[in-house]
């Protein structure tokens, strides 16, 4: 699962590089392609969390709260 996650992260990176013009893509990258790759990555993250019995929504809300507190200071 971890290698799947890294593979999907690489696919997100490839689309972003294409959108930003860092790497001339073989075919133009689109925001729809980015949405698909981000969704693939999110799916793997959910699968990984489920495998380890992690309540991801609760952890995510805590992370958002931590970031908000960091930026409010
Ligand atoms: Mg993908």
Residue 4: what pLDDT? Answer: 94
Q: Tell how far the Cα of 34 is from the centroid of ligand 1, in angstroms.
A: 9
Residue 68 pLDDT: 94
Tell me: the pLDDT tens digits for 12-67? 999 999 999 987 768 889 999 999 999 999 999 999 999 999 999 999 999 999 99
> How far away, in angstroms, is 37 Cα from ligand 1 center?
4
**Ligand 1 center to residue 50 CA distance, Å?**
19
17 CA distance to ligand 1 middle (Å): 15
In the chain, what are the domains?
2-72 (1.10.287.1080)
* Cβ-defined contacts of 43-48 (< 8 Å, 24+): 43/8, 44/1, 44/4, 44/5, 44/8, 45/5, 47/1, 48/1, 48/2, 48/5
- pLDDT at 73 > cutoff 80: no
């Amino acid at each position: 699962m971890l290698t799947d996650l890294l593979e999907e992260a690489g696919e997100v990176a490839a689309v972003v590089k294409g959108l930003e013009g860092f790497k001339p893509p073989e075919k133009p990258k689109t925001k729809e392609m980015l949405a698909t790759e981000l969704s693939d990555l999110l799916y793997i993250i959910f699968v990984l969390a489920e495998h380890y019995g992690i309540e991801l929504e609760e952890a995510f809300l805590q992370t958002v709260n931590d970031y908000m507190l960091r930026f409010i200071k």
